[in-house]
Structure 1
Amino acid sequence: MTAPDPTDIEEYLAGVDGRRAEELRLLHSVIRTSAPGFAPVLVESGGAPLLGYGLLPYKSKSMKQPSEWPVVSLAPRKNYVSLYISAVIDGRYVPEIHADRLGKVSCGKSCIRFKRLTDLNLDAIGEILADLEKRWRAGEKLYGEH
């Protein structure tokens, strides 16, 4: 996959409706500031594009061939925003590890869902992403077979 033209990212963000667009722009800025080494990329997931960051080699147990997947990705939904942090540290997904620090959100294994950006602890997200980028630069494997 090649890096998207910056206008593609802008078009993606411009295609989001209302308050969600402003929230995604702010979160995009937090991600880019906290983990500048994770380059933005548009990826398809279930027929809907995601705005991803830090495309890395990935292979799950069910995959026959390795692929690539972003460490972090954003997806606007009808009633909330999903922030995916797909990295695994010590056998646990990062959102699970930090669930108590993330604010008034709903956490899955790799997914953080929130209705309003003010519900998400942006300082914690910034710290978590900066740590992930530091680990990545040090050569730590952020993905593994799950």
Structure 2
Amino acid sequence: MPSTATSIEAYLEEIPEERKIAFTKLRETILKNIPKGFVEQMSYGMIGYVVPHSIYPNGYHCDPKLPLPFISIASQKNFLALYHIGIYAMPELLNWFVFEYPKQSKQKLDMGKSCIRFKKIDQIPFDLITELVQKISVDEWIKTYETQFKQSK
């Protein structure tokens, strides 16, 4: 269920105490490693990392008033989640992640199309998340987005 928080600070205050350390480390991992150009902001009731309109004026095809989304993180009811649209859009990135995950985590990979669920917050593979976040530049993401999503509309 998305948060109604209107700021990152308000969102962080809503996170249950037992998840704050892991969530903060996940956020810091992204902030330290995401390529230049992505911006952190509230997006769809989560903390999102987006391509701002100053770089990609067309915005998101579903709602051009919104910036182009890329990654989001959320504290859901039963898990922490990392939503990475690049994994959904780029089969080679998905294959890489699925191959590398068991090398860095004893937990079985629990994921949907773009959602990676972490039910055991003490076993989040932060080094793997670091690598994942670094793999796609803003320019690469825009190119992928335009070929994979925008044309199909």
Once the two structures are superposed, what CA deviation does each residue of 1:68-104 show, in whole Å capped at 9, x if it has no partner? 3421101111211110001258742844541232332
Q: Which runs of 4+ in 1 moved over 6 A?
A: none
Q: TM-score, normalised by structure 1?
A: 0.72
SS across alignment from 1:141: helix
Equivalent-residue separation in structure 2 for 1:24 and 1:120 (angstroms): 10
* 1:51 matched to 2:53: no
Correspondence list, 1:1-146, <5 A: 8-35=7-34, 37=36, 38-44=38-44, 49-55=45-51, 57-59=59-61, 63=62, 66=64, 68-87=67-86, 91-92=90-91, 94-95=93-94, 97-102=96-101, 103=105, 104=107, 105-133=109-137, 136-137=138-139, 141-143=143-145, 144-145=148-149
Which amino acid counterpart does residue 83 of structure 2 have in structure 1?
Y
Q: Counting helix residues as a fraction of each chain, which structure ranks higher?
A: 2
**Aligned residue pairs, count:** 130
Which moved further from structure 2: 7-16 or 88-97? 88-97
Q: What are structure 1's unaligned runs of at least 5 residues?
A: 1-6
SS across alignment from 2:24: helix
Q: TM-score, normalised by structure 2?
A: 0.69
Identity %: 26
Equivalent-residue separation in structure 1 for 2:16 and 2:141 (angstroms): 38
Q: What are structure 2's unaligned runs of at least 5 residues?
A: 1-5, 53-58
CA separation of 1:90/1:39 partners in 2, compared to 1, >3 Å: closer, same or farther? closer
Larger RCO: 1 or 2 (CA < 8 Å, sep 6+): 2
Which amino acid counterpart does residue 91 of structure 2 have in structure 1?
R
Q: Counting strand residues as a fraction of each chain, which structure ranks higher?
A: 1
